[in-house]
Structure formats: C-alpha cells, structure tokens
Amino acid sequence: MSRATYLVTVSGPDRIGVGAELFEALNGLRGEGLHLMDVAQITIRGTLVLCAEVSAEGNVTREDLVTALGERSIEGEGMSVHVELVTPQEEIKGRRLLVTMLAPSISADQLGSVFHAIAQSEATCERIVHLASYPVDCYELIVLGPDHVALREALTDVAKSSGLDLAVQRAGLHRRAKHLVVMDADSTLLQDEVIDLLGAECGCAAEIATITDAAMNGEIDFAESLRRRVALLEGLPESVLDDVRANLRLAPGARTLLRTLQRLGYVPAVVSGGFVEVLAPLLDELDVTHYAANSLEINDGVLTGRVRGEILDRAGKAQALRRFAEEVGVPLEQTVAVGDGANDIDMLSVAGLGIAFNAKALVQEHADTALSVPYLDAVLYFLGISREEIETA
C-alpha cells in the first residue's frame, strides 16, 4: 500500500479555536488511512505557526487534505493553510544536547555564530525556546548531532568570541532532576568577602585584600592564606562579627534563586571558606539548612587570630558537596556547583554541572560553563527554568 507524508502548516493572526478546527479536519480522514505523526506550534506577538506532520495511506491525497481543511473554514482573516508533500530526508544520527546561551542582550549576529557552529558540526537545531528576556536574554536550543565533542568545542569557541555565556548539557529528564545546588558564599551568594570586611574593622584591610586576591587566583595555598589573614584579626572583639553580619550584601538575584529552588523542590546549599559565625544566622534566615564553613577561635569574647578545627579548603568544599549529595539522596551527576575562586575548582569539577560565576580565567577553565552577568538567579536558566516559572514560583 502506498504511503505519503504531508506537512500541514497553519499560519497567521492567532485566534481561539484554530487548533480544534485543524485536528477535527484531520480526524475526519482518519478512517481513510490518515495518521497524525507529529505536532509543533509557536506563537510570537500574536502570530501563530502551527504544524502537523501526517502520514497518508491508501487513497488519501493532498487534494483530499486541502478539501477537508477548507471545509473547516480555517483560512480567512489573514490565516493561511499550506499542505506540502514531504520527501524523505537522511536521518541525522546522534544524541540530543541542550545548549543554553545568555547575555544582557542577544543579537542576530550572535545567534548566527551559534547556528554556524552547529552547522559546521553537522548537527541540527530541533527546537528554540526563549527562556527569558530580562534581566538577561536567554535562549535554550535542543540540538541533535553525531559528534558531541566537536559540537561542544565549536560552541565554546563561539561563546568566547561573541561574548555569550553558554552551557552544553546532555538532554533528558535528568536535567530537571538536579535537586542539589551548592554555591560558594563570598563573591558568589554574597557581594562581599567576609574576611575583607573583618580586615576593615582591624585596620588591615589592604593587607588582607592582597592575600585574598592571591588566594583567589590560585597563587598561594588557601589554607595558608586563611591562616595569614585570620592572624591579622587577633584581638578583635567578638561583637565585630555582628557588625559585619549586619552589613553583608546578597548578590543580585540571590534571594530569587534560593526562593525559586526551594519552591520547585530543589535543595540549595552553601559551602564557604568563610566563617560559620557570620554566615549561619543569615543562612538560617534564608532557610538554607545545608551549609559548611570555617570557624573562628574565640576566647573570652575576643578573636585569637586562629581558626578552630580543620580548615575547609578546596578539597574540603568538594568533600562537603559529596556529603550533602548523599544526605539529600541524589547522585553527583544531578548536582550543580557555583563558585568564583580557585578554592571552588574541585567542587566545580565534582558536580554534574559546574558554573563559574564572574570568576577568574583559571576557574572558568575548570568549570562546565561561566556566567559573566551579575545576576545569580541566571543559574536557574541552566536548569531549564524560564523567567515565567521563576515569577510564578
């Protein structure tokens, strides 16, 4: 029995009932051997494009389809219906990838560069979703290609040259199952470095900032840098910790990120090289129950200039992420880590998705993707959560 495939395209000013009319017309030919294979729709600024792929067996012809659609009076008031015979195409082999790109504003030139890289990798884009238009522009593409390594490399080069923040992830339901999101505190969840604020209280801010920068760039060991900086705090009254805590500034979008994660069933966590005495009250206020940080030694209400217990360093952060994942009950590939400094590299490498947030070049090299925008809630877009979902949550 002969078989033909047709693509039925309905386009024009959107109105109520168009979909019902189309599918009623197609259903009328079902008894004669017409089968619905696929459907796609998009509406932009009130303009509808609705496509249906159908397989016709037996005596159903293109003219039969046109007649059945015409009887439903779909056309009119600017709406048009087009029926096209589809010729077989060579199937592109491979698995699907999710490509998420964002920037303050994404231009046609930037999109052109991305699609050129996709084409050069012998891949094709199956779907485009506009996840957000503010405070950043964000698109998510579903891409099918045979060589994922080549595609990742090509897209990474495009991201660097065109100023896009871009992530490439394996497609599938597991992406929405990343239930644990672990972030650094200083210069990630917070705008500030807590140790620098403490340094300002003891009059040694410049010296502490110099050591901090060297540690962030990976020039000196974190544990050693922390000991040096904390030693400069010797003699400060414990009450200074309350003053510093009162002046902490959350990163733009931090509250939105945490609130959205919690309301959608994700678990946020904080792993910090800072100090639990400063962070714990703030995290309790934000309903973050999973956190780890260093602890200052205090005797008789005065800082001794020493750290109490084992220092939570680069390796310790990664270990804390593993511990939280076990407690929450998710595999490591379903975790996300966000950080900005060299101390976060191991944590970013261990997580299923490592995001370098306004980070040094060294850190970006070890992360799966980088965010250069100042909004921490942009992390949600890499989880496929749209701006509409964020506002609803």
Q: Is the peptide bond before 13 cis (omega within 30 degrees of 0)?
A: no
- Contact between residue 18 and residue 45 where contact means Cβ atoms under 8 Å apart: no
Q: Which residues pair with residue 234 across a beta bridge?
A: none
- Res. 323 pLDDT band, cuts 50 70 90: very high
The Cα-based distances of 219 to 69, 195, 210 in angstroms read: 70, 18, 11
Half-sphere exposure of 90 (CA within 13 A, CB side): 5
Rounded CA-CA distance 156/164 in Å is 9
Strands (DSSP E) contained in 133-213 are: 137-145, 165-170, 180-183
Is it the case that residue 176 has pLDDT exceeding 80?
no
Q: Which residues pair with residue 249 across a beta bridge?
A: none
- Res. 1 pLDDT band, cuts 50 70 90: low
What percent of the chain is helix, strand and coil (3-state, nearest 5)? 40, 30, 25
- Res. 105 pLDDT band, cuts 50 70 90: very high
- Look at residue 167 in the predicted model and tell me its pLDDT: 93
- Contact between residue 7 and residue 38 where contact means Cβ atoms under 8 Å apart: no
- Look at residue 178 in the predicted model and tell me its pLDDT: 65
Q: What is the mean pLDDT of residues 221-240?
A: 94
pTM, rounded to two decimals: 0.85
Average pLDDT value for the chain: 91
Q: What is the mean pLDDT of residues 329-343?
A: 94
- Contact between residue 51 and residue 7 where contact means Cβ atoms under 8 Å apart: yes
Is it the case that residue 118 has pLDDT exceeding 80?
yes
* pLDDT tens readout for residues 46-91: 999 999 999 987 678 888 888 888 888 788 888 999 999 887 765 5
Question: Is 184 known to be catalytic?
Answer: yes
* pLDDT tens readout for residues 150-173: 998 999 999 989 999 999 998 876
* pLDDT tens readout for residues 249-269: 999 999 999 999 999 999 999
* pLDDT tens readout for residues 119-143: 999 999 989 999 999 999 999 999 9
Question: What token pair was written down for 217?
Answer: 């760039």
- Look at residue 250 in the predicted model and tell me its pLDDT: 98
Largest CA distance in the chain: 93
Amino acid at position 273, single letter: G
Element (H, E) at 299: strand 290-299
- Res. 30 pLDDT band, cuts 50 70 90: confident
- Res. 11 pLDDT band, cuts 50 70 90: very high
The Cα-based distances of 158 to 79, 112, 115, 116, 375 in angstroms read: 38, 10, 10, 9, 22
Rounded CA-CA distance 170/241 in Å is 44
Rounded CA-CA distance 377/23 in Å is 40
Q: What is the mean pLDDT of residues 210-217?
A: 83
Question: Is 368 known to be catalytic?
Answer: no
Q: Which of 186, 196, 340, 377 is catalytic?
A: 186
Rounded CA-CA distance 31/317 in Å is 63
- Look at residue 31 in the predicted model and tell me its pLDDT: 82
Is it the case that residue 313 has pLDDT exceeding 60?
yes
Is it the case that residue 113 has pLDDT exceeding 90?
yes
Going by C-alpha positions, the residue among 84, 91, 143, 137 that lies closest to residue 117 is 143
Q: Which of 38, 137, 165, 184 is catalytic?
A: 184
* pLDDT tens readout for residues 342-393: 999 999 999 999 999 999 888 999 999 999 999 999 999 999 999 999 998 7
Structural domains in the chain, CATH included, are 3-85 (3.30.70.260), 95-171 (3.30.70.260), 180-392 (3.40.50.1000)
Amino acid at position 41, single letter: Q
Q: Which residues pair with residue 302 across a beta bridge?
A: 237, 299
